[in-house]
Each structure stands twice: as structure tokens, then as C-alpha cells.
Amino acid sequence: MVDRDVFTAIGEPTRRRILDQLRSRECLVGELVESLGISQPNVSKHLRVLDQAELVRVRIDGPRRYYALDDHGLRDLDAWLAPFREIWADRLDALEQHLDETNKED
């Protein structure tokens, strides 16, 4: 079951932007501040929410804090979404079949 915190975390556009930034590599807080164009306290607040939802992990190296994606929360979200994907896949298959039949009649 997906914790409500995951939905709260990904429901906020800035946090989704942070997750997008972290897809390719881990980042320092300062790098996120620069790329997002928002203050360090705001970035830290968003990172705290993402950490609590288990969507990011932090690696501390002296005074530096590196953030990276944590797939734990994402795996839970993916598992929760799976049945909905099946519904859409079934509907898209039915649409494809309908269109194929319609094209044969022409």
C-alpha cells in the first residue's frame, strides 16, 4: 500500500521538479537551488518531505549533503498503479480492435 505521504510529496510541482533533477544523478543541495531557482531553505523543506516519503536518500560527506532518488517509495507507487495500467491497457486493446474492425469495413 502506498503511504499517503508519497501522494502529498509528488503532488507538489517543485518536488516533482526535484525528482526530475535527481533522475540522472545525485545532486548537492546547492546544485538543486541553482537549477530550480528557489531558496536553499525551500529546497531543504521539499527534500525533507521527499525523504519522509522515501522518495530520496541523503548521503552525507563532511559538510555536503548529496541527494539521490530512493526507489523504495517509487516501487510502492508503481505497484499501486499497476492495476490502473491494466485497466487502460485493456481499454486501449479494445479501442485498437474496434478501429481495426472499422477499417476492414471501409
Q: Residue by residue, what is the 3-state secondary structure of 27-60? A: EEHHHHHHHHCCCHHHHHHHHHHHHHCCCEEEEE
As beta bridge partners, residue 64 has 61
CATH 3.50.50.60 correct for 4-105 = no
Q: Quick one: pLDDT band at residue 4, thresholds 50, 70, 90? A: low
Q: Quick one: pLDDT band at residue 1, thresholds 50, 70, 90? A: very low
Closest C-alpha among 35, 30, 104 to residue 67: 30
Average pLDDT over every residue of 51-65: 93
